[in-house]
Chain A
Amino acid sequence: MSLTIRRRWSSLARGAVWISMSLAGAVSLGAVALHRHEPINAMWLIVAATCIYLIGYRFYSRFIAFKVMELDDRRATPAERLDDGRDYVPTNKWILLGHHFAAIAGPGPLVGPTLAAQLGYLPGTLWIIIGAVLGGCVQDFVILFASMRRDGKSLGQIAKEEVGPVAGFTALFAVISILTILLAVIALVVTNALKSSPWGTFTLAMTVPIALLMGIYLRFLRPGKVLEASLIGLVLILAAVAGGQSVARIPALAGLFTFDARHLALLIIAYGFAASVLPVWLLLAPRDYLSTFVKLGTIFLLALGILAVRPMLAMPGLTRFVDGTGPVFAGKIFPFAFITIACGAVSGFHSLISSGTTPKLITKESQARLIGFGSMLMESFVAIMAMVAACVLQPGVYFAINSPAGVVGASPVAATATITSWGYPVSAEQMQDLANMVGERSLLARTGGAPSLAVGIAHIFSGTLGDRRLLAFWYHFAIMFEALFILTLLDAGSRVGRYMLQDLLGHFWRPLGRTSWYPSVFMTGVVVVSAWGYFLYQGVMDPLGGINSLWPLFGIANQLLAVVALCVGTTILIKMNKARFAWITLAPMIWLVLATQTAAYQKIFHPDPRIGFLAEASRLSGLISGGGTGAVEVATTERLIFNNRLDAAVTALFAVLVLVIVLDSVREWYAILIRRKVPVLREAAYVVSAMAGEQS
């Protein structure tokens, strides 16, 4: 065969592969969308997602990489130009993909889809797949590219230089506020997962001494040998999960590790403060290593488990709660599905990681495509797996775990009767049996998504191994896995929040900015931890479960940051003289502005007290003035009224910030497009790469 014929054949073969991939994707997506009333196999979701990801990566990311951003391997990256062997290091692209993925994948893509499953698997799944390919991946990729062309500058700096000081300040402010709400809501998830659970609490408590041990090992015995220390930690932590069962069985010991939600919340706040002021090597870093290992391992196992079991989805495609009356969170599909699932579809927080360490480590410009776009596809797949894990549960069981007592009733009989009356049959005995099987006292009203995800994961894992007796172990393994990296995020987030605050205050009085000056460290630590601690405690007190008010706030905050990032991206594209392609960032941005503004408006002004904060506040005031509460309850109710008004104010603040950044950017775009302003792109100078001409 001559060379031309062989080339033609191979291009034909490649074409055939992509055509069949498209067909498989279309057929699976059709199956997912059309079989709404009969149970379907989880594999349809998995295949549909995988095909669309591959097609999106092959065609859309290629288009963005070479037509829009014109990635150029002849141009030296910061890692090559500024190579210092430390911060700027040309790194293997697969290693970097691992680093980047480990950094972006947190509890968000696990919790969000679990909560959104109350609408049925369809809305969440479609948003996760489409939102990721057209929104999240684009955002991550464009910001990674922008930062890479600017020596690894942060999102805030880029916003300030490319859009203007208003945008820069909004970005900084958005980061601090999103951090506060994020930490509060994930701490609430942990609290709800561990309340009245001696097994879970013991396991998580043990992670502290294990981390301290690893920290000492890494500091004094074998400096920097992270891999060894992590393996030791991993063995100990599995032992702790197994040992928790014995602790839960011995009443005297179990009592030591049994807390109600309020005490647990206070303990977590105290822990967060301690962890954020202790040296990083002692607690934070070793815990981070451990949680990263456990996280990546569990995600990998979950993928294997789903492939091995190929479970049926018990949840229908659409539930009756698409009308906005859902018990997990109130509100219709639009806008609330798009706020509830942020991570996994579009997550603004990623833009901080994409403009952090990663751009300083890229060897060749074209690799930004795999690392920026590819790792977000992986995170989106994690969200699909979480959706599967939530939907393998019987809907009645799912709602019994995830509905707050304030909505369905406090006693097991009342709660299960309410849920059964919705058409999702479940009985109190069934829930008690399940609780016994996983080694918990009760699984009712365990809101926050973690317990139901853990039951789903345990179901899949024990299904793989074919042994129901291991259900309890896997359940607590899954709880430990979620709690472990949520606590890591609390440590790391509180510390970063403290640094940002110190940085800000340092402008007013120099010593406050010094991260080694203990009075300032203490003071700012207290401020940051009390800020998220307040919202956490508010969530614990909330009769509607807290998730109902805090998770949408978090979603709005996260999408606000995504709007900032996409505004910056659009500005850069316009300045690069690529205005005709600006829709790649503009379209997802417009969608997110619509979703966040509608959600914010509804969360503030909606007449239904379960949706609107102000409606709930006036309902509660009505209770007091109507004399429907006793003297003790008046104080509590007044606190609830204040909290609802505070939440309304915070939501309004987020909505205003979105408008400010959008208007500021539009002004800049307009000035450039009518040529009133000469676009100045603040990229680092072009230096020809020494590796130019080599194959990547």
Chain B
Amino acid sequence: MKVLRTLWKILAELTGDSDYDRYCAHLRALHPGTRMPTESEFYLARLNDKYSRPTRCC
């Protein structure tokens, strides 16, 4: 069970599932009082940014 949970955590790290929580933690710690984006807003902004650069190779 513990192995599975660790595996899931690693995969979540790889797929970017944990990006939102990390960003919120960052905002709370360093910029308290700023408005948090919703998870949906954050996800969309990240995607639009990601695919404006070469992200995949031949």
Chain A residues within 8 Å of B, Cβ to Cβ: 83-87, 89, 92, 95, 98-99, 102-108, 154, 175, 182, 186, 218-220, 223-227, 230, 280-281, 284-285, 288-289, 342-343, 347, 349-350, 352-353, 356-357, 485, 488-489, 492-493, 495-496, 499, 515, 554, 558
Chain B residues in the interface with A (C-beta under 8 A): 8, 10-17, 19-20, 22-23, 25-27, 30, 38-40, 42-44, 46-58
CB distance from B9 to the nearest CB of A (A): 10
A104 and B57 contact, CB distance less than 8 A: yes
CB-defined contacts of A182 to chain B, threshold 8 Å: 58
Pick from B46, B47, B50, B57: contact of A105, CB below 8 A. B57
Say whether, besides A285-B47, A496-B52, A515-B52, A106 and B15 are in contact (CB < 8 Å): no
Cβ-defined contact, A281 with B26, below 8 A: no
* A224 and B58 contacting across the interface, CB-CB below 8 Å: no
Establish whether residues B52 and A106, one from each chain, have CB atoms under 8 Å apart when the complex forms: no
Question: B14 to A99, Cβ gap below 8 A?
Answer: yes
CA distance A154 to B53 in the complex (A): 10
Known pairs A224-B20, A224-B40, A226-B17; A558 contacts B10 (CB<8 A): no
Q: Are A106 and B39 also in contact (CB < 8 A) when A284-B51, A285-B51 are?
A: no
With a cutoff of 8 Å between Cβ atoms, the chain A residues found around residue B15 in the complex are 226-227, 230, 289
The reply to whether B51 and A496 form a contact with Cβ atoms under 8 Å apart is: yes
**A489 lies within 8 A of B43 (CB):** no
Q: A226-B16, A496-B53 are in contact. List 13 more A-B contacts (CB 8 A).
A: A99-B14, A102-B14, A103-B57, A106-B58, A223-B39, A227-B12, A281-B47, A343-B58, A347-B58, A356-B53, A488-B56, A496-B52, A496-B55
CB distance from A112 to the nearest CB of B (A): 9
Q: Which A residues are in CB contact (< 8 Å) with B55?
A: 103, 288, 353, 356-357, 492, 496
Determine the residue in chain A with the shortest Cβ distance to B58.
Answer: A108
Residue of A103, A342, A347 near B56 (CB, 8 A) is A103
Known: A107-B58, A343-B58, A352-B57. A223 touches B12 (CB 8 A): no
CB distance from B5 to the nearest CB of A (A): 13
Instruction: Establish whether residues B17 and A280, one from each chain, have CB atoms under 8 Å apart when the complex forms.
Output: no
User: Known contacts A285-B47, A357-B55: does B17 contact A224 (CB below 8 Å)?
Assistant: yes
Q: List 17 A-B contacts (CB under 8 A).
A: A85-B26, A86-B46, A103-B57, A186-B58, A224-B42, A227-B12, A281-B47, A284-B51, A285-B50, A285-B51, A347-B57, A352-B54, A352-B57, A353-B54, A356-B54, A489-B56, A495-B51
Closest-by-CB residue of A relative to B41 is A223
Q: Are A224 and B23 in contact (CB under 8 A)?
A: no
With A95-B10, A224-B39, A226-B17 in contact, is A219–B54 under 8 Å at CB? no
Report Cα–Cα, A668/B39, bound state, in Å.
49
Distance A154 CA – B14 CA, assembled complex (angstroms): 23
- In angstroms, Cα B46 to Cα A471, docked, is 40
B14:A98 contact, CB within 8 angstroms = yes
Q: Considering the chains assembled together, what is the distance between the CA atoms of A184 and B10 in angstroms? A: 36
Chain A residues lying within 8 Å of B19, measured Cβ to Cβ, are 86, 224
Bound together, the chains give a CA A554 to CA B58 distance in angstroms of 10
In the assembled complex, the CB of B33 is this many whole angstroms from the nearest CB of chain A, namely 15
Which one of A98, A219, A489 lies within 8 Å of B40 (CB-CB)? Answer: A219
User: Beyond A347-B57, A496-B51, A496-B53, is A227–B11 a contact (Cβ under 8 Å)?
Assistant: yes
B4 to chain A, nearest CB (A): 13
**Are A85 and B23 closer than 8 Å at their CB atoms?**
yes
Residue from the set B12, B26, B51, B55 with the largest chain A CB neighbour count within 10 Å: B55
Taking a contact as CB atoms under 8 Å apart, the answer to whether A106 and B57 are in contact is yes
Q: Kindly list chain A residues whose C-beta atoms are within 8 Å of the C-beta of B52.
A: 495-496, 499, 515
Chain B residues contacting A492 (CB-CB under 8 Å) are 51, 54-56
Report the Cα distance A224→B47, complex, angstroms.
10
